[in-house]
Structure 1
Amino acid sequence: MGKGGQRQENGHQKLYSWDEIRKHDLKDDRWVVIDGQVYDVTRWSNKHPGGARLIGHYAGQDATEAFDAFHNDLAAVKKYLKPIHLGAVDDYKDEEICKDFRQLKQTAIKMGLFEPSYTFYIVVLGHILLLEALAYLTLVWFGAGWIPFLVSLILYSTSQVQTGWTQHDFGHLSVFKPSKLNHALHHFTMGFTKGASASWWNHMHYQHHAKPNVIDKDPDVRLEALFVVGEVMPVKVAQEKKKSMPFNLQHKYFFAIGPPLLFPIYFQFMLFRHVITRKLWMELGILFLYFTKFFCMYTPYLGLGWTIVYYFAFRCLESHWFTWVSQSNHIPMNIRNDESHPWLKLQIHATCDIEKSFFNDWFTGHLNFQIEHHLFPTMPRHNLYKIAPMVKSLCEKHGVSYQVKPLWTAFADIVRTLKSSGELWEETYREFHSD
């Protein structure tokens, strides 16, 4: 059991106040609340499939809605809760917004929106493999001249981006009922087809979903040395640091070090560090297979030097594509400290949608419905648009802003937000360090 605290007895059920529960939010002392019941997850967090950090983000808080969102088979998962059960929350109250959201999810289940179309995923995987094959065959048929090189590069980059959107579905367990099948296809698409780590993706991405745009919890908006975003982070960095990047210029240097370098440099380093430091030898083996396949296919036609150039060139192109799409839904939204909002408000405050069209759906991997994806992370992506009108109605009922933008407006908002956040940093910096 966690440390200290007052508790009350109600028959055989121990009751804990919220004041007591909130004290247990430390790395070596973690309690969470699920459906009004209190659980000590201190030891279990290291065994948690989603990682210790993920479950730790809800330490001392109500994790009911996050628990429901991430797990498809709740009955199977709940059996792990019995040994760590402590008691119940004293005077536990279920908010109206939470009740309404649960009702909406039940409606989605009855509509069959959590049922995948296998035809859709066969077509998606088929077009990815076709693009990759055409990238290779372009060099085989036409040689390594500049035009074939560039055509092949564009085809391979497109294949890699579309693989990224598709591995995302397997990673969220939204395609197959058995988790093992999702995991197997996740390793195939993320590892063998894309040359990245499925475990590293899970480690980072599930934290993002659990607490999107929450400072020090969402890895995508952690306090880094290169950019400050939102209204809280620029002030915090300006107050704490006398020497730092010229963040007032970040909307300009973003074009040089943001999209171009995220995949070729940062992600390459982080995923290999994750695999090696955690001794994930199977994943390291899959990565070895990917690079063996890639260099054996392309070196005979490009030579070793140009094959390396080709590799970093397509990583740079897919980095641009991924960065603009992923940040358009999040960077312009609220980025704040953890305020323990209900699931609907937490996700809506951190996300926005992009208008639906055939091109936008394909270009973003259906992540133009980012709001719906964040609310229902295990829903197959081809069904997200169907739940959107009901989500919008629920937001209107509870006075929550539901934003939908044109694609280019969303892209422009990234730069606009970086500029305004940089100006806020500059203003605060001058105020605190004028001497």
Structure 2
Amino acid sequence: MDPPASYISSSDLANHNTRHDAWISIHGAVYDVTEWLHRHPGGSLPLLTLAGRDATDAFLAFHPPSAAALLPRLSTGLRLRDHAVSPASSDYRRLLSELSRAGLFDRKGHTTLALLSLIVPLLALAVAGVLLSDRASVHLLSAALIGFAWIQSGWIGHDSGHYNVMPTRRLNRLIQILSGNVLAGISIAWWKWNHNAHHISCNSLDFDPDLQHLPFFVVSSSFFTSLTSRFYDRKLNFDSLARVLVSYQHFTFYPVMCFARLNLFAQSFFLLLSNRKVDHRGVELLGLLLFWIWYPLLISFLPNWWERALFVLVSFSVTAIQHVQFCLNHFSSKVYLGPPNGSDWFQIQTNGTLDVSCSSWMDWFHGGLQFQVEHHLFPRLPRCNLRKIAPLVKDLCNKHNLPYNCVSFWKANVLTIQTLRTAALQARDASKPLPKNLVWEAVNTHG
């Protein structure tokens, strides 16, 4: 019997793209990750999204060099016959190697220590304002301080999900639970599940959960056909209610962002109470329980119900700043349908992201994510180094005629509202596939 072929084509690889038969290619070598899906630290979804495709750039972006030692045990012994590397990918990998040799992935500065030094006083002042003052203005200021503390804890949670912000993995896990679950009421497990999918499938309408906000928002008329979300594994129904809400989304965007945390709270519990595999589920739930003890308890010390309601409203509304920024980075950028093509990693990330220009002293406020292009290309890079590499990334984009979108915070808001308004007007004009109902007729009656 002839020995098995040592080479397969990309079309052959594409046939291995299911949960029960998942292969990927890295540097032209083919690996069977089917049995690794449930053990992958980043969850199974990133691997399933890239199954049947080249995953070299994504692998390099998300893993330290030491992760390569795990690959031989997954090898099929096959290689891609038609393996090729685009000029953009070649330069991207070269820059990645240069940054690694320069030690930039290891130099984390004192970012986490600085943020903790900010968060602790904010929380202490907020608690003191509630407990030691009987003035409503002080209570509302305390609520605002809670909101700002949540924003900064969110940056810590984000960073710790991409790389170790603490000296050891155990301490890194501790800071994740404290900053996310306990302080902010948001499951770090849910955030990693969601955020990994976002990074892998940046601005894919059906794969990126950060663009899937029906019935409140859409960024493309493609949602009018009720797309199936590959992240939530369900149809995103564009029904009559969605049409009404989307038709005015450019007006409701900022008010809805004031209550965006409610969705994060709900999604955290949906995941932790589901049958999905969640590492340290008990610790995650305990962290959320502690949040739902200390935050309502603090509110209970306020003298009356209207102050308590205003306290919640203000603390939530302040964090709208962070939720808006997440949208600014992507809503107005290029979108596409289907899974990402692993061989176009550099192009997909630059097309789907937008930088926000600001002075260096404002980096703490934006959490480093104003350098969204840089962060998406090098997600393991500590935020203190993103500004340093921005000129290198811009030069690389110019070299390969790829967009390097960088605008002011004001302009980013304008572009986002314009995108929402365009989709809103399209939703109003579309007469198909949905019949108009009485609510639709009432809202859109003129004269």
Partner of 1:398: 400
User: SS of 1:292's equivalent?
Assistant: helix
Partner of 2:202: 212
How far is the alpha carbon of 1:229 from its aligned partner? 0.9
User: SS of 1:367's equivalent?
Assistant: coil
Q: Call closer, same or farther: CA 1:149–1:82 in 2, change over 3 Å.
A: same
User: Quick one: distance in 1 between partners of 2:67 and 2:350?
Assistant: 29
How far is the alpha carbon of 1:216 from its aligned partner? 1.8
Native 8 Å contact 2:50 2:340 kept in 1: no
Selected match of 1:349 from 340, 348, 351: 351
The one-letter code matched in structure 2 to 1:53 is L
Percent identity of paired positions between Structure 1 and Structure 2: 28
How far is the alpha carbon of 1:421 from its aligned partner? 2.0
Partner of 1:158: 148
* Matching of residue 15 in structure 1 with residue 13 in structure 2: no
CA deviation digits over 1:116-159, x for unaligned, max 9? 3443321111101111111111223323x211111101111111
Partner of 2:41: 49
Range with bigger deviation, 375-384 or 36-45 = 36-45
TM-score w.r.t. the length of structure 1 is 0.88
How far is the alpha carbon of 1:205 from its aligned partner? 0.6
* Matching of residue 269 in structure 1 with residue 266 in structure 2: yes
User: SS of 1:57's equivalent?
Assistant: helix
Partner of 1:248: 247
Q: Call closer, same or farther: CA 1:284–1:305 in 2, change over 3 Å.
A: farther
Native 8 Å contact 1:25 1:31 kept in 2: yes
User: Quick one: distance in 2 between partners of 1:327 and 1:93?
Assistant: 34
User: Quick one: distance in 2 between partners of 1:275 and 1:318?
Assistant: 26
Once the two structures are superposed, the pairs formed by residues 42-191 of structure 1 within 5 Å of their partners are 42-72=34-64, 74-76=65-67, 78-79=69-70, 81-143=72-134, 145-176=135-166, 178-191=168-181
User: Quick one: distance in 2 between partners of 1:393 and 1:232?
Assistant: 33
Q: Call closer, same or farther: CA 1:8–1:259 in 2, change over 3 Å.
A: farther
Native 8 Å contact 1:295 1:307 kept in 2: no
User: Quick one: distance in 2 between partners of 1:339 and 1:196?
Assistant: 28
Q: Call closer, same or farther: CA 1:223–1:214 in 2, change over 3 Å.
A: same
Number of aligned positions between the proteins: 419
Once the two structures are superposed, the pairs formed by residues 355-434 of structure 1 within 5 Å of their partners are 355-358=357-360, 360-427=362-429, 429-430=430-431
How far is the alpha carbon of 1:75 from its aligned partner? 2.6
User: SS of 1:112's equivalent?
Assistant: coil
User: Quick one: distance in 2 between partners of 1:318 and 1:55?
Assistant: 36
Partner of 2:231: none
Range with bigger deviation, 396-405 or 188-197 = 188-197
CA deviation digits over 1:76-125, x for unaligned, max 9? 45325514535211131122211100111122223332133443321111
Please list every run of 5 or more consecutive structure 1 residues that lacks an aligned counterpart in the other structure: 1-6
How far is the alpha carbon of 1:250 from its aligned partner? 2.1
User: Quick one: distance in 2 between partners of 1:313 and 1:158?
Assistant: 13
How far is the alpha carbon of 1:376 from its aligned partner? 0.7
Range with bigger deviation, 23-32 or 397-406 = 23-32
CA deviation digits over 1:260-294, x for unaligned, max 9? 23212x11111112112247111111222233333
Please list every run of 5 or more consecutive structure 2 residues that lacks an aligned counterpart in the other structure: 228-236, 437-447
How far is the alpha carbon of 1:200 from its aligned partner? 0.7
* Matching of residue 302 in structure 1 with residue 302 in structure 2: yes
Range with bigger deviation, 116-125 or 48-57 = 116-125
Over aligned residue pairs, what C-alpha RMSD do you find?
2.7
How far is the alpha carbon of 1:396 from its aligned partner? 0.5
How far is the alpha carbon of 1:192 from its aligned partner? 2.1
CA deviation digits over 1:52-89, x for unaligned, max 9? 112111011111111111112x3345325514535211
User: Quick one: distance in 2 between partners of 1:296 and 1:418?
Assistant: 38
Q: Call closer, same or farther: CA 1:231–1:348 in 2, change over 3 Å.
A: farther
Range with bigger deviation, 305-314 or 19-28 = 305-314
CA deviation digits over 1:197-236, x for unaligned, max 9? 1101111011101111112211112373332213644566
The one-letter code matched in structure 1 to 2:283 is M
Q: Call closer, same or farther: CA 1:311–1:270 in 2, change over 3 Å.
A: farther
User: SS of 1:378's equivalent?
Assistant: coil
CA deviation digits over 1:299-323, x for unaligned, max 9? 3x31695786366325521441122
Q: Call closer, same or farther: CA 1:307–1:410 in 2, change over 3 Å.
A: same
* Matching of residue 224 in structure 1 with residue 224 in structure 2: no
The one-letter code matched in structure 1 to 2:143 is L
Q: Call closer, same or farther: CA 1:296–1:192 in 2, change over 3 Å.
A: same
Native 8 Å contact 1:136 1:298 kept in 2: no
How far is the alpha carbon of 1:178 from its aligned partner? 4.2
